[in-house]
Amino acid sequence: MVLLVSTQVLGDIWLSRGMKGFGEVTSYHPEALWHLIGYLFTSPWIGLGVLTLVGSMLIYLVSLTRLDMSFVLPMHAFSYVLNALMAALILKESVSASRWLAALLISVGVLIVGWSKRIDDRKALLVAGADPPIKSSWLLLLPLSFYLPKLWLGVWVLAIADSSGDILVARGMKQIGSFSGRSLRSIRRWLGHVFVSPFVLMGVVSYTISFLMFISLLSWADISLVRPATGLGYIINLLGAHFILKEQISSGRLAGIVAIGGGVGIISLAG
C-alpha cells in the first residue's frame, strides 16, 4: 500500500508539472488533439509521470490478486493527502484551508477503512463466513454540487471511465488468480495471463480515456483540487465491488468510504 500510494502521488505530481508547461486544453478538435499528443510524447515530465504510474499500476494489479477492491481503493485514497502536501512543496500551489480539510477528512476515512479491515480479519478467525452485505442508502455518497461546470463535468467523465477500468481489471485479476512471483518464469506466465485477459484489456481502454481526461483537468485546475475531486469514483467502485465482484462490504468499510465522500463534497463546494 505504501508503494502504491507513493508511486501514484509522484506520477500525478510529474504529470501536473508537465501540463503546467503546456497550458489549458481548450479544444478536442483533431488538430488540437494532435498538438496535445505531440506534447505528451515529447515532455520529459509527462514521460516520467507515465513511467511512474505504470509502476504504480503493476503494484495495483498485484494488490488486487490478494485483497478486495473495496479495501484497496479506499486505502489508496490516502494519496489525496500526500498530493496536497507535494503540490504545496514541489509545485508551489496555494492549497486552501478547505482543501486541507477535505484531505484530512479523506485520511480519516482511510484510517476507518484500514481499521475495519483489521476487525474483519479478526472476525474471520473466530467465526466462519463473511460479513452480511450492507443495505445502507447509497445516497450518502452522492456529490454535493448541484450543477456541472466544465471542471466537474470532466470529473464525472473521468470518474466513470476510471471506475469502469477498476472494476473490469479487478474482475480480470480475480479470474487470473494470486501473484506468487517466486521465479522469473512464473512472473512471465502471470504477465502473459494479464495481457490476454479481455477484462484487463477493456479496463486498459477505460484507463486510457480516464488518463486523457485527467490530463485535461490538470490543465484547468491545480492537482490539489483535481485529485481529491476524482474521489467521486469511489461511489461507482463501491457499487461495482458489491454488485459485480460480489464483495462483502462491512459497515466499517462503508463508513470510511462515506468519510472519503464527505471530503470530496467539501472540495466540490469550496472549489
> For residue 219, with 0-12 CB atoms within 10 Å meaning exposed, 13-18 middle and 19 or more buried, which class applies?
middle
Query: What's the CA gap between 7 and 268, in Å, rounded?
Result: 26
Mean pLDDT of the chain: 78
Looking at residue 117, what is its pLDDT? 62
Looking at residue 99, what is its pLDDT? 74
* Domain enclosing residue 68, as ranges: 2-270
pLDDT at 113 over 90: no
Q: What share of the chain is helix, strand, coil (3-state, %, to 5)?
A: 80, 0, 20
Query: Highest mean pLDDT: which of 8-17, 29-38, 106-115?
Result: 8-17
Q: What percent of the chain has pLDDT over 90?
A: 20
Q: What percent of the chain has pLDDT over 70?
A: 80
pLDDT at 234 over 60: yes
Mean pLDDT of 245-271: 72
Total number of domains in the chain? 1
Query: What's the CA gap between 47 and 233, in Å, rounded?
Result: 25
- pTM (two decimals): 0.70
Model confidence band, residue 168 (pLDDT cutoffs 50, 70, 90): very high
pLDDT digits (tens, 9 = 90+) for 47-82: 999 999 999 999 988 888 888 877 787 777 777 778
Cα dist from 152 to 8, 44, 50, 136, 221, whole Å: 22, 28, 24, 26, 11
Grid coordinates representing 128 are: 466462519
Q: Which helix (H) or strand (E) segment is 206 a member of?
A: helix 198-220
Model confidence band, residue 11 (pLDDT cutoffs 50, 70, 90): very high
Close Cβ partners of 177 (under 8 Å, ≥ 6 residues apart): 65
Model confidence band, residue 111 (pLDDT cutoffs 50, 70, 90): low
Query: What's the CA gap between 47 and 255, in Å, rounded?
Result: 37
Model confidence band, residue 244 (pLDDT cutoffs 50, 70, 90): confident
- In sequence order, what DSSP letters do the residues of 77-141 get, joined into one string? TTHHHHHHHHHHHTS-----HHHHHHHHHHHHHHHHHHHHHHHHHHHHHHSSSPPPPP---GGGG
Model confidence band, residue 143 (pLDDT cutoffs 50, 70, 90): very low
Mean pLDDT of 189-198: 90
In the block, cell 508539472 appears at: 17
pLDDT digits (tens, 9 = 90+) for 27-45: 878 888 899 889 999 999 9
Looking at residue 141, what is its pLDDT? 35
Grid coordinates representing 31 are: 488538430
Looking at residue 19, what is its pLDDT? 92
73-88 residues labelled b (16+ CB within 10 A) or e (exposed):
bbbbbbbbbbbbebbb
Model confidence band, residue 203 (pLDDT cutoffs 50, 70, 90): very high
Looking at residue 96, what is its pLDDT? 79
Looking at residue 134, what is its pLDDT? 37
